Amino acid sequence: MLAASVALFVLAALAEIGGGYLVWLWLREGRPWWVGLLGGLVLVLYGVLPTLQPQSFDFARTYAAYGGLFIVFSLLWGRIVEGRVPDAPSLWGASLALLGALVIAYWPRG
């Protein structure tokens, strides 16, 4: 269950960042309209993926936890896709956000 939940968070991050990146390329970099349309479709997938989290995850908990992972994946995307190396404050902030996300999502509840 934990592995499936983490996988869903990772897929959601890739869908949101990838879809947003395609829209960015279309609007900011002058790519063809279909790149933006594809980005929009990927963003719809992002909207669906969080709903597949376990029933114990309500909307607020799911999106709060996802926020921390999104920060980390945004920096990874920048590094891998755009070749931008994150600076120390960004890495510290991402680490803190990821720790917070893990607490929100997976801290045992009674």
Q: What is the pLDDT of residue 2?
A: 87
What domain count does the chain have? 1
Least confident residue range of 1-5, 73-77, 81-85:
1-5
Whole-angstrom distance, CA of residue 87 vs CA of residue 29: 25
Q: Structural domain of residue 53, as residue ranges? A: 2-106
Q: How far is CA 31 from CA 19, 38, 81, 88, 93, in A?
A: 14, 12, 16, 33, 32
Q: What is the pLDDT of residue 28?
A: 98
Whole-angstrom distance, CA of residue 22 vs CA of residue 15: 10
Is residue 1 pLDDT above 90, yes or no? no
Tens digit of pLDDT for each residue in 80-105? 999 999 999 999 999 999 999 999 99
* Cβ neighbours around 57 below 10 Å, total: 20
Q: Which of 11, 8, 36, 7 is nearest to 21 (CA)?
A: 36
Q: Which of 84, 77, 91, 64 is nearest to 15 (CA)?
A: 77
Tens digit of pLDDT for each residue in 40-73? 999 999 999 999 999 989 999 999 989 999 999 9
Is residue 74 pLDDT above 90, yes or no? yes
Query: pTM for the whole thing?
Result: 0.86
